[in-house]
Chains A and B, each alone.
Chain A
Amino acid sequence: MRWFNADLHIHSVLSPCGGLEMSPRELVARLKTIGIDWFAITDHNSMANCPAYEAVAKRAGIEFTWGMELQTSEEIHLLVYFDNVVLAQAFDQEVYASLLPLDNDADFFGDQVIIDENENILSVEQRALSNSSLWDLNTAVEMALAHDGFCVPAHVDSGVNSIISQLGFLPEKPRFNAFGITARADVSRFLQKQPVFSGKTLIRSSDAHYLSDLGSGFSRIRVLEAGASELAKAALRLDHRNIII
């Protein structure tokens, strides 16, 4: 068992709202500087940039987990994490096929750039990624589970694109074992407003779109090793695993 400083909700240059400064080398260098030793890239509806960031993270000796911030048909943002890259890429393709077939307006949203580890531009994604999948929440969770993904509803304290803002209250199903909160969430005030989350595992992260956002929110996580299945076990506090926000 060991402790990590984990920031598990970060956007790369692929997210149209993300800054082009979020290149793998810059991002990893910044994380090292601020002492984050485990991170995930969670772009909107795509994991196309995970290979590049993973490679740079490995070279720098910090832990990386594949992730995605999926937008369901109810416009709920759902974080999904993977250990198995083959299953992650299969899921990625399924998600892509489920997206509304709309093109990205680059002038308005910015370019969606897919890069390699040396920051060469491999391609520019034309389809709008800041959009919804046709999958509803239940379908999205089923699909993620079928690909060994671990699901965490994102920024549940946010008034936009959260399971609460979209559904009014937490549905009984699907059941989640962890919930993401924003960098600046005042947990005690949030729990007063939403007591349904009392006693539930919360994971704080930055949701960074720019370098200066990195590490603005992170969690201390105690696991055997960095990864999605260990995160799932930590959410349940199994065998002394822990998550502290």
Chain B
Amino acid sequence: MIKLSDYLHAVGGSNLTPAIDAEEIGITDGYVCDMLSDVMGSAKAGQAWITIMKHLNVVAVASMTGIPAIVFAKGGVPEAPVIEKALEEGICLITSALTPFELAGILYKQLEN
């Protein structure tokens, strides 16, 4: 288990939902995928989800699967309604300039330690 805030720092990311404190969110695992139907079927609660998909449905999928944080790779920033929806659902949104591979690698290492 790591704090989302530690991961946020490690990937040079920014919190798109500052009302949700990354300090308070625990991450136990990760999932990397851009196909929402697959994420719905395979992602687990407690995972940070790394994706480039920014459609509104990402928030609902995260909510359904119990994902506490979505990490948008390659500097992706979703539109305002997506961020609003995430705030409503209590899901932390992060953006980082790194690629999904780099983001996953850093998360994997942090979880291993």
Residues in A lying within 8 Å of B, measured CB to CB? 74, 136-137, 159, 164-169, 171
Proximity string of chain B (80-111) to chain A, C-beta cutoff 8 Å, 1 when within and 0 when not: 00000000000000000000000000000000
> Would you call B53 and A74 a contact (CB within 8 A)?
yes
> Would you call A168 and B37 a contact (CB within 8 A)?
yes
Contact residues in B for A167 (Cβ distance below 8 Å): 36-37, 55, 57
Contact residues in B for A166 (Cβ distance below 8 Å): 35-37, 53, 55
> Would you call A171 and B56 a contact (CB within 8 A)?
yes
CA–CA, A165 and B57, complex, Å: 12
> Would you call A137 and B37 a contact (CB within 8 A)?
no
Contact residues in A for B37 (Cβ distance below 8 Å): 159, 164-168
Partner of A169, one of B35, B53, B54, B57: B57
23 inter-chain pairs at a CB distance below 8 angstroms, sorted by A residue, are A74-B55, A136-B54, A137-B55, A164-B37, A165-B37, A166-B35, A166-B37, A166-B53, A166-B55, A167-B36, A167-B37, A167-B57, A168-B37, A168-B39, A168-B57, A168-B61, A169-B36, A169-B40, A169-B57, A169-B60, A171-B55, A171-B56, A171-B57
Instruction: With CB as the reference atom, state the residue of chain A lying closest to B56.
Output: A171
Contact residues in A for B55 (Cβ distance below 8 Å): 74, 136-137, 166-167, 171
Residues in B lying within 8 Å of A, measured CB to CB? 35-37, 39-40, 53-57, 60-61
Instruction: With CB as the reference atom, state the residue of chain B lying closest to A76.
Output: B55
Contact residues in A for B60 (Cβ distance below 8 Å): 168-169
CA–CA, A74 and B37, complex, Å: 12
Instruction: With CB as the reference atom, state the residue of chain B lying closest to A164.
Output: B37
Partner of B35, one of A136, A137, A165: A165
CA–CA, A11 and B57, complex, Å: 30
Contact residues in A for B40 (Cβ distance below 8 Å): 168-169
Contact residues in B for A136 (Cβ distance below 8 Å): 54-55
Apart from A166-B37, A169-B40, list 14 A-B contacts with CB within 8 A: A136-B54, A136-B55, A159-B37, A165-B35, A165-B37, A166-B35, A167-B36, A167-B55, A167-B57, A168-B39, A169-B60, A171-B55, A171-B56, A171-B57
Instruction: With CB as the reference atom, state the residue of chain B lying closest to A160.
Output: B35
Query: What are the nearest 6 A-B pairs in CB distance?
Result: A168-B36, A167-B57, A168-B40, A168-B37, A165-B37, A168-B61
